[in-house]
Structure 1
């Protein structure tokens, strides 16, 4: 399925006098890394500790960390506006640091082999450390159909790699402008015959001017050939924030419905 649409004007602009969610930074113990690690957590407007929420894990690119979305992507504003327009299911959004190593800051040579390996190691950190932390400290639902993973660029590749190989954990997957860390299409899904029944949403998007578009298109082509339902969203723009913010706006509206 190909989707042609874009966000409405003002979707990422701060509005006065509307209910607001909260953004906070948390620390959790990562046994995968052997240290405390940080993540940012967004709780929706009118959040209640007695209500159970689905959860989206939203990943950053190679040059970012847990704060990259918050710094550049206006997620709190976008989500608050969507809630105010009754377009979004209440959910908790977690912004992890996808570079699972002791010094996980985005500094120095970002393409060092150990730093690239750290993005692969994040799969264990997410499944065995961060998800259990969220389930112990926030009122999040624990079933696979109430858990989503998505990300931009390097995080888009991680979302495909982790999500499609762990469909027992994630029913909702989104990849925005996936980077070259994305596995070859034939290696992404453990059992291509079971994927259609396990996926609630598989979203793959990329800007038309993005020089990495062949990565996303290759995944789209493979899935189409094998009858795996998904949304292929090709949009105006390159490898940049206007594209990813638009993706966040469109993708989140489809979650948990």
Structure 2
């Protein structure tokens, strides 16, 4: 794949091979000790010609801080156009994209005093116990409706997780560190631990996750990190991943890892859509 630093114009042109976006709703029992469910939702991109009798790879794709599940596909509908064109041009296989929210409630979304790491890490259980089983029981994925833990682990190579900004931090905390057995493809777009994070701790967690996973026969298909070099999250993200690459024998640049950098790129949707454009050319290959 050849990296580009501006979205190709043809990716933003309307095509007659359009996918669809629909709402998916589910209950989460993660956050209440009394086991009272929270009703939640996600938006779902289904590729053109979606066929319930087939099997599709799935990308779970997260927003950033202060927003919800509407970010990627509703607030920025040109994301849908990019997906349509990528599939039409054969740049990626037809896949399903699910955009949930890591916030359990509107109140927590707007609670500026709540630690970011807390929200990111806490999504791990909802992701595993509520979202993935509910979604993959209903849609045409490689799980084929069998959402037992054993089968979800067995189909992990058909499942990717990516996110921007706070969603990038959640990619590490909820998907990579805590659910490595359910995903083999990762796209952290802008950041690992935030401005106040412990870099030593993050490097250690990355290395330990890989070591433990490989010991269990769970390999990393690809960790596709992305950042603009003028992004406020660039310095910490790059330093952590450079150290992790050196310290882990299981992270090999060009084989199962890369760090895509946009010269002059900042912390904005233009960059994040470009990250998605590149990541989908890597995932599931």
**Secondary structure in 1 aligned to 2:54?**
coil
The match for 2:279 among 227, 243, 251 is 251
CA offset digits 1:167-206 (Å, max 9, x no partner) = 2111000111125357622123434436676111101111
User: C-alpha distance in 1, partners of 2:18/2:77?
Assistant: 17
Per-residue deviation, 1:130? 0.3
Equivalent in the alignment of 2:127: 126
Report the equivalent of 1:80. 84
Match of 2:39 in 1: 36
Q: Quick one: which of 173, 176, 190 aligns to 2:189?
A: 176
What SS does the aligned partner of 2:137 have? helix
Moved more, 68-77 or 152-161: 68-77
SS of the counterpart of 2:243? helix
For 1:56, the equivalent position in structure 2 comes to 59
Question: 2:58 touches 2:96 (CA, 8 Å); kept in 1?
Answer: yes
| Unpaired stretches in structure 1, ≥5 consecutive residues | none
In 2, the alpha carbon distance for the partners of 1:175 and 1:72 equals 19
Aligned residue for 1:199, secondary structure, equals: coil
Instruction: Quote the RMSD (CA, aligned, Å).
Output: 2.2
Which of 149, 169, 174 aligns to 1:162? It is 174
The 3-state SS of whatever aligns with 2:9 is coil
d(CA) in 2 for partners of 1:104 and 1:38? 16
Which one of the candidate residues 99, 102, 106 is aligned to 2:105? 102
Matches of 1:118 and 1:192, distance apart in 2: 23
**Separation (CA, whole Å) in 2 of partners of 1:102 and 1:163:** 20
Q: Deviations over 1:196-233 (max 9, x none)?
A: 76111101111011122122112321222123121011
Displacement after TM superposition at 1:26 (Å): 1.5
2:205 matches 1:187: yes
CA distances 1:5-38 after superposition (whole Å, capped 9, x unpaired): 335521542314x211110111101111331101
Structure-2 separation of matches of 1:115 and 1:202: 22
- For 2:22, the equivalent position in structure 1 comes to 24
Q: How far 1:155 moved relative to its partner?
A: 0.5
Give the structure 2 partner of residue 233 of structure 1: 260
Q: Is the 8 A contact 1:160 1:174 kept in 2?
A: no
Residue 243 of structure 2 is aligned to residue 242 of structure 1: no
Between structures 1 and 2, the one with greater helix share: 2
Q: State the alpha-carbon separation in 2 of the partners of residues 189 and 82 from structure 1.
A: 33
User: How many residues are treated as equivalent by the alignment?
Assistant: 251
For the residues of structure 1 that align with 2:260 and 2:176, how far apart are their CA atoms? 18
Deviates more, 1:171-180 or 1:44-53: 171-180
Aligned mates of 1:192, 1:146 — CA distance in 2:
18
- 2:70 maps to 67
Q: Distance in 1 between matches of 2:207 and 2:102?
A: 21
